């Protein structure tokens, strides 16, 4: 199904000759290390074939859901009971109205990459595209592992709770595939203590997973470390944390054992106690990561579950989160410094969600690069609402102006969709175009091998060296 003048073509987003050289020669064919995503390890291990394009493309994708809701489409066709084809048809109605939103580019890039469909999705093309994509999704090379192989993905790091048994990661290793699948330790529930009932239920689950009876704060830390060791045995070398801000409350103000007892007795907690507990748990975790040579990630600045009515109806991670305006710099500095004081600061990636704080995060990363490791503390890739052409360019410009772009470890998908990997290609094209523009404008020497190596490093080789898989 080919259009006469395809919108997505070989030189898409590449606006000058030098950017085309950089992309086609040094970036296009490099492997992908996707070091942060929310893919299902079960789907990867079992090599699932999706029944429909709706399953593969729309289930779980809150980016698309937000767009459809904005257009006035009923929830029945988003997360509701409508049949898959009707949901797809509603998405096809939405796509033409997503102009200048990254969803428009991503949708067309994904149709081209996975299904060789160059015609733009709209109500007039929807029926045929639905049939063609569904047919191809039944083929062996369009299974989950096949979709990853199409993109030359060599490493996938999923996001996993400490209580997860990791049985699918364990099973996948027995398949002896060339693509590596690793868990990532995501302990957010271990320090989310605002609701004592929910937290105590989680402690029971952690106790079962670790086979350690948790009666005290020390028992709790022992259980967490036991899970870290279990993750480590299965190849995990990354941790990730999603927080509004990092906490920093000194010990002289509070007793951690008293706070833990208050949690156990379901007594209300002061804000300072919550922050102190979070800091103590995170500090312990981060020193444990450092001891094992892991990389730690901090995703900071999201304000989540803003719509309480729809949260109650649909649950979390359904498209009702946004950019927060939290103060970040002081606590971030104090937290990282508390680890660095004793030289226990692991390799660290900092992600921000508020673009007004780009420079804050980029300069904070520079404070803790100590010459021991290339790019030890990274200002992480443009994340979530910033993962679009303008946001990526602003991120790259900030890294360039205030840090070392040549040391940057590149892109990730942060996605729940197996069709999202053209986002790596999107990033590579934007990067090459940015550098190509500088060459064309006389801002950089026209040295192909030098700039080509830097492009290749950012797209693949820096990440390969940085992560201790």
Q: What is the mean pLDDT of residues 145-174?
A: 98
- Helix, strand or coil, per DSSP, at residue 163: coil
Instruction: For the chain, count helices (H), then strands (E).
Output: 20, 9
Please calculate the CA angle 265-268-272 and round it to the nearest 5 degrees: 120
Residue with the two structure tokens 């605002």: 194
What is the structure's pLDDT at 5?
63
pLDDT band, residue 4 (cuts 50/70/90): low
SS3 for 197-243, per residue? HHHHHHHHHHHHHHCCCCCCHHHHHHHHHHHHHHHHHCCCCEEEEEE
Q: Mean pLDDT lowest for which of 4-13, 19-28, 85-94, 396-405?
A: 4-13
- The alpha-helical segments, DSSP class H, found in 213-322 are 217-233, 256-264, 271-292, 308-314
Each residue's pLDDT tens digit, 36-50: 999 999 999 999 999
What is the structure's pLDDT at 3?
47
Q: Structure tokens of 209?
A: 């997973």
pLDDT band, residue 98 (cuts 50/70/90): very high
DSSP symbols for 404-467: -GGG--------S-TT-THHHHHHHHHHHHHHHHHHHTTSS---HHHHHHHHHIIIIIHHHHHS
Each residue's pLDDT tens digit, 332-366: 999 999 999 999 999 999 999 999 999 999 999 99
Q: What is the mean pLDDT of residues 183-188?
A: 98
What is the structure's pLDDT at 249?
79
Instruction: List strands edge to edge, sheet with 32-34.
Output: 32-34, 153-157, 180-182
What is the structure's pLDDT at 252?
73
Q: Phi and psi of 13, rounded to 5°?
A: 70, -5
Going by C-alpha positions, the residue among 457, 429, 422, 445 that lies closest to residue 22 is: 429
Going by C-alpha positions, the residue among 379, 366, 374, 373 that lies closest to residue 343 is: 373
Please calculate the CA angle 465-291-218 and round it to the nearest 5 degrees: 145
Q: Helix 102-115 and helix 422-440: axis angle, to 10°?
A: 110
Q: Mean pLDDT lowest for which of 12-26, 139-153, 246-260?
A: 246-260
Distance CA 65, CA 79 (A): 8
pLDDT band, residue 245 (cuts 50/70/90): very high
Distance CA 345, CA 322 (A): 30
- Let me know if 345 is exposed, middle or buried by CB neighbors in 10 A (0-12, 13-18, 19+): buried
Q: Strands 295-300 and 347-352, how do they pair?
A: parallel
Largest CA distance in the chain: 71
**What percent of the chain has a predicted confidence (pLDDT) above 70?**
99
Residue 3 near residue 118, CB atoms below 8 Å: yes
Q: What is the mean pLDDT of residues 235-241?
A: 98
| Those residues with Cβ within 8 angstroms of residue 302's Cβ, 6 or more apart along the chain or in another chain | 242, 244, 321, 322, 323, 324, 353, 384
Q: What is the mean pLDDT of the chain?
A: 96
Residue 43 near residue 144, CB atoms below 8 Å: yes
pTM for this predicted structure: 0.96
Going by C-alpha positions, the residue among 384, 449, 401, 464 that lies closest to residue 32 is: 464
Q: What is the mean pLDDT of residues 64-80?
A: 97
Element housing 154 (H / E) = strand 153-157
Each residue's pLDDT tens digit, 277-290: 999 999 999 999 99
């Amino acid at each position: 199904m080919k259009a006469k003048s395809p919108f997505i073509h070989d030189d898409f987003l590449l606006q000058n000759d030098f950017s085309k050289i950089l992309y086609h020669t040094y970036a296009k064919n490099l492997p992908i290390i996707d070091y942060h995503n929310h893919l299902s390890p079960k789907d990867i291990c079992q090599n699932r074939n999706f029944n429909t394009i709706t399953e593969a493309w729309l289930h779980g994708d809150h980016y698309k859901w937000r767009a459809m809701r904005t257009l006035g489409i009923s929830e029945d066709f988003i997360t509701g009971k409508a049949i898959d084809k009707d949901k797809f048809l509603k998405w096809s109605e939405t796509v033409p109205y997503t102009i200048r939103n990254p969803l428009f580019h991503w949708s067309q890039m994904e149709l081209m990459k996975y299904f060789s469909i160059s015609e733009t999705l709209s109500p007039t093309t929807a029926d045929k595209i639905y049939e063609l994509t569904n047919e191809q999704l039944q083929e062996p090379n369009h299974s989950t592992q096949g979709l990853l192989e199409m993109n030359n993905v060599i490493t996938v790091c999923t996001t996993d709770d400490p209580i997860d048994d990791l049985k699918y990661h364990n099973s996948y290793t027995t398949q002896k595939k060339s693509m590596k699948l690793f868990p990532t330790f995501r302990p957010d529930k271990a320090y989310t203590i605002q609701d004592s009932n929910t937290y105590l239920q989680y402690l029971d689950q952690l106790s079962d997973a670790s086979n350690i009876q948790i009666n005290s704060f020390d028992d709790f830390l022992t259980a967490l470390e036991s899970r870290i060791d279990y993750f480590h045995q299965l190849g995990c070398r990354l941790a990730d944390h999603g927080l509004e801000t990092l906490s920093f409350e000194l010990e002289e103000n509070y007793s951690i054992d008293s706070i833990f007892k208050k949690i156990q007795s379901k007594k209300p907690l002061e804000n300072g106690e919550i922050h102190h507990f979070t800091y103590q748990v995170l500090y312990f975790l981060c020193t444990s990561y450092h001891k094992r040579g892991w990389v730690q990630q901090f995703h900071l600045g999201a304000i989540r579950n803003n719509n309480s009515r729809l949260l109650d109806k649909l649950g979390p991670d359904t498209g009702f989160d946004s950019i927060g305006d939290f103060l970040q710099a002081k606590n971030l500095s104090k937290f990282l410094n508390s680890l660095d004081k004793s030289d226990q600061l692991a390799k660290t990636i900092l992600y921000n969600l508020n673009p007004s704080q780009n420079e804050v995060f980029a300069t904070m990363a520079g404070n803790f690069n100590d010459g021991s490791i290339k790019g030890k503390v990274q200002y992480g890739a443009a994340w979530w609402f910033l993962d679009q052409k303008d946001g990526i360019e602003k991120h790259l410009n900030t890294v360039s102006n205030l840090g070392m772009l040549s040391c940057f470890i590149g892109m990730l998908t942060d996605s729940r969709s197996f069709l999202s990997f053209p986002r790596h290609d999107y990033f590579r094209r934007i990067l090459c175009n940015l550098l190509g523009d500088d060459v064309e404008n006389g801002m950089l020497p026209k040295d192909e091998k030098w700039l080509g190596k830097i492009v290749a490093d950012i797209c693949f080789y820096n990440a390969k060296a940085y992560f201790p898989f």
